[in-house]
Chain A
Amino acid sequence: MTATAARPQTTIFRRPSAKTGLWSWITTVDHKRIGIMYGYAAFIFFIIGGCEALLLRIQLAQANNEFLTAGAYNALFTMHGTTMIFLFVMPASAAFMNYLLPLMIGARDVAFPRLNALSWWIFFFGGIFLYSTFIFGTSLAPVGSTGVSGNLPIGGGPGSLNFLADSPGGGWFGYQPNAGPLYSTGTAMDYWALGLQILGLASLVSSVNFIVTILNMRAKGMRLLRMPVFVWMSMVVAFLLLFSLPIIAVALFMVTFDRQFGSLFYAPVGGGDPILWQHLFWLFGHPEVYILVLPAMGMVSEILPTFSRKPLFGYSAVVFAGAAIGFLGFGVWAHHMFASGITPVAQAAFGLSTMTIAIPTGIKIFNWLGTMWQGRIRMNTSMLFAIGFVAMFTIGGLSGVTHAVVPSDWQQTDTYYIVAHFHYVLFGGAIFGLFGGLYYWFPKLTGRVMNERLGKTHFWLQFLGFNLTFGPMHWLGLQGMVRRTWKYAPETGLQPWNLVVTIGGFIIAASIAIFIFNWWTSKRHGEPSGLDPWDARTIEWMVPNPSPEYNFAVPPVVTSLDHFWQLKYDKGPDGRAVRKPDADEIVAKIEHDQRNPVSPIHLPNPSYFPFFMAIAFPTIFYGIIYHTAMWGKALIFVGVLIGLIAVVGWAIEPLEEPHVEHDDEGHTIEAAGAYD
């Protein structure tokens, strides 16, 4: 597998060579650049999803409001949920994994760099495909009915954004038969089903890539139980994706067959069973919850020890608890269906299994608290977000346990109590963790640190806004306010708290604006970070900031957990860590060594083919939506053709162009992944 043998170069296009500019980004296979693209795309979708949420909140701020029509309201909550889950939190986590995993395990790149680029481009085009529903999608009234849009009454005045109603309105969970051909007419739900299919494919490809990377690409001495917790959690997430995405793929294919080709899987009219959809969806959907939150848990497990200046309390317990959460996450799906008429035995069993999952989660929370206990805590923005994560996630976890009690869950099903719960878990949990990670690893991207004053303002404003928004939803839900309903009557008495919720939503928006400003200015004018701004513990901080293209000039040899910290610190007489007297020199030497490669480092060459192959999927899927038309069939054909050409080009193009091998201490070439 060495590249010594000179092969005849047989590529379809001349190999891309741009190092800067648009083409360099399109053809890059560098995990760091791919991570950055994931991050920016995810953030843009976060803004879009946030705007959708604000529109929903404007509608609900007043009783009997006429701001949105029912159809527009449905489309907005559907797209808000879908966006935040599939287009924000998942790719944002993927951004961190892409950027950090190879650095954290001491690798040159991921195991399959071009597949990595493929994942990203499939995700990118999948997001565009899904959002193109706002332009091309339709949502027509069922045959023979008047005055309804889809299955909904039309309401609202002229300026009521009704054009938005021509978009998927079946909810992010796409319950059948409501999202089926009979009740969600038009093409909008097809865009939703096929869009998720594309996004799922992207995640499936990267899950394989990440597992192989973590298992196979570790530096010398990086044993499994020396890996940072973030790496562990990423691996658990990758396994969850690997095993849950095929399920939703089948379920969504069946939706598409029902809607496009007249199969009868979910339609009760034809004898289909809508509960089957619920099972398949939640078989995927519950692991998905852990897919969203485990990466944030991993980040918090990196941030808390660093700023407490103590090792993570119970490292192996945290790791095993994470794996246990992943495993148990497959056994609790039916708790989403307690009100769907499943048998009492199933209700009892899933109630119990749901309670069980609180145990590993509790282990983690106590370990995080134990980490901070007696630590010399530095309260910077990153740490604040991490602590915010622990606190808010605990609230969300506790309200989650109340859902495991079946009679209580019947009362809460489809009320705002549920909305409150999962926002505490996913916003208070995942998103707080992601922001903590952004502040923490910002120097790796830019070589600068973010402004602390702005950062702390951001945190406190977001913390306030978050609790104002989602706290009152608990009691609104317990008072009986139902989800997914565009209007409530004034005599329900729900108005005051709804107004508070809406105000809270706008406070969150303000805090995000501060974050954007902070990001923008710190990127240019932030304080230079140096190699080790946080006195960090893990080996990604042994690489200069911003990270060079080749990651490690000198491959690290890992001798312990928290390897970098161990190089700098000794155990003092009282058991506390004491910084070595020559720690600064050690860090300076590391920086010098890592900045100056001893021999040329060969990296995987950029490639056009991931980009082209990714284009094939939306092309084919557009064709499926319009397959009854001639041009739809033509699109399918063109898409398949693009895909085939890309596969052939990919297969005959070596990962690296032939070059002379330098097999010295520098491990100069990528050997194993030469043909991914």
Chain B
Amino acid sequence: MTVEPHHPTPAQYWKIAALLAVLTAIEVAIYYVHLEFDLGNLNTISLLILATLKFVIVVAFFMHLRYEKTVLNRFFVGGFVLASCLYAVVLAALGALIIRGS
């Protein structure tokens, strides 16, 4: 019974979770700022970046994908990229890929 040496320690997990919480708080804050002072496309872009960050952090550290074999990375990223591409095309073809800034 050995612990993978590179895995984060509990203390580090708490820090990562705190970071996730802060990012979520920023997201909600941006949402309200946008309601008051129209941020336009900046709202969409910043929220998507923040969501991506949270997504990547959970996958990399909590799911330990950072420390896993390449084969798992490939499958996971492959599934994500495939899904994104296919549905982006479907939505574009159905005329629904208009990101509204306001």
Q: Do A and B touch (CB < 8 Å)? A: yes
Which of A243, A279, A283, A330 is in CB contact (< 8 Å) with B94?
A: A279
Chain B residues with CB under 8 Å of A276's CB are 90, 94
Whether B93 contacts A283 by the Cβ 8 Å rule is no
Chain B residues with CB under 8 Å of A215's CB are 71
Query: How far, in angstroms, from A312 to B86 measured CA to CA in the complex?
Result: 35
A10 within 8 A of B: no
B79 within 8 A of A: yes
A343 to chain B: closest residue by CB: B93
Residue total for A at the interface (Cβ-Cβ under 8 A): 14
Chain A residues with CB under 8 Å of B94's CB are 273, 275-276, 279
Chain B residues with CB under 8 Å of A275's CB are 94
Chain A residues with CB under 8 Å of B93's CB are 279, 334, 342-343, 346
B82 within 8 A of A: yes
Whether A330 contacts B82 by the Cβ 8 Å rule is yes
Whether A279 contacts B82 by the Cβ 8 Å rule is no
CB distance from B44 to the nearest CB of A (A): 23
Whether B90 contacts A283 by the Cβ 8 Å rule is yes
Query: How far, in angstroms, from A215 to B90 measured CA to CA in the complex?
Result: 32
Q: Mark B73-102, 1 if CB is under 8 A from A, else 0.
A: 000000100100010001001100000000
Residue total for B at the interface (Cβ-Cβ under 8 A): 7
Chain A residues with CB under 8 Å of B86's CB are 247, 283, 330
Query: How far, in angstroms, from A342 to B90 measured CA to CA in the complex?
Result: 11
Query: How far, in angstroms, from A330 to B86 measured CA to CA in the complex?
Result: 8
Chain B residues with CB under 8 Å of A283's CB are 86, 90
Query: How far, in angstroms, from A247 to B86 measured CA to CA in the complex?
Result: 10
Tell me the A266-281 residues at the B interface (CB within 8 Å).
273, 275-276, 279-280
A346 to chain B: closest residue by CB: B93
CB distance from B69 to the nearest CB of A (A): 11
CB distance from B81 to the nearest CB of A (A): 11
Chain A residues with CB under 8 Å of B90's CB are 276, 279-280, 283
Q: Mark B22-36, 1 if CB is under 8 A from A, else 0.
A: 000000000000000
Chain B residues with CB under 8 Å of A280's CB are 90
Query: How far, in angstroms, from A330 to B88 measured CA to CA in the complex?
Result: 13
Q: Which of B71, B79, B90 is most buried by chain A, counting CB atoms within 10 A of its CB?
A: B90
Q: Mark A312-334, 1 if CB is under 8 A from B, else 0.
A: 00000000000000000010001
CB distance from B87 to the nearest CB of A (A): 9
Tell me the A486-537 residues at the B interface (CB within 8 Å).
none
Known A275-B94, A283-B90; judge A243-B82 contact (CB<8 A): yes
Query: How far, in angstroms, from A276 to B93 measured CA to CA in the complex?
Result: 10
CB distance from B71 to the nearest CB of A (A): 7
CB distance from B78 to the nearest CB of A (A): 8
CB distance from A238 to the nearest CB of B (A): 12
Query: How far, in angstroms, from A245 to B67 measured CA to CA in the complex?
Result: 29
B90 to chain A: closest residue by CB: A279
A276 to chain B: closest residue by CB: B94
Query: How far, in angstroms, from A129 to B93 measured CA to CA in the complex?
Result: 35
Query: How far, in angstroms, from A283 to B90 measured CA to CA in the complex?
Result: 9
A243 to chain B: closest residue by CB: B82
CB distance from A598 to the nearest CB of B (A): 33
Q: Which of A247, A279, A280 is most buried by chain B, counting CB atoms within 10 A of its CB?
A: A279
Chain A residues with CB under 8 Å of B82's CB are 243, 330
Chain B residues with CB under 8 Å of A247's CB are 86
Tell me the A257-295 residues at the B interface (CB within 8 Å).
273, 275-276, 279-280, 283
Chain B residues with CB under 8 Å of A334's CB are 93
CB distance from A458 to the nearest CB of B (A): 41
Chain B residues with CB under 8 Å of A342's CB are 93
Query: How far, in angstroms, from A283 to B89 measured CA to CA in the complex?
Result: 11
CB distance from B73 to the nearest CB of A (A): 14
CB distance from B82 to the nearest CB of A (A): 6
Query: How far, in angstroms, from A342 to B93 measured CA to CA in the complex?
Result: 7
Q: Mark A227-254, 1 if CB is under 8 A from B, else 0.
A: 0000000000000000100010000000
Query: How far, in angstroms, from A346 to B94 measured CA to CA in the complex?
Result: 10
Query: How far, in angstroms, from A334 to B93 measured CA to CA in the complex?
Result: 9
Query: How far, in angstroms, from A273 to B93 measured CA to CA in the complex?
Result: 12
Sorted nearest first, the 10 A-B pairs with minimum C-beta distance are: A279-B90, A346-B93, A342-B93, A243-B82, A283-B86, A275-B94, A276-B94, A330-B86, A273-B94, A334-B93
Q: Would you list 8 pairs from A and B whose C-beta atoms are within 8 A, ordered by A residue?
A: A243-B79, A243-B82, A247-B86, A273-B94, A275-B94, A283-B90, A342-B93, A346-B93
Known: A276-B90, A283-B86. 4 other contacts (CB 8 A): A279-B90, A279-B94, A283-B90, A346-B93
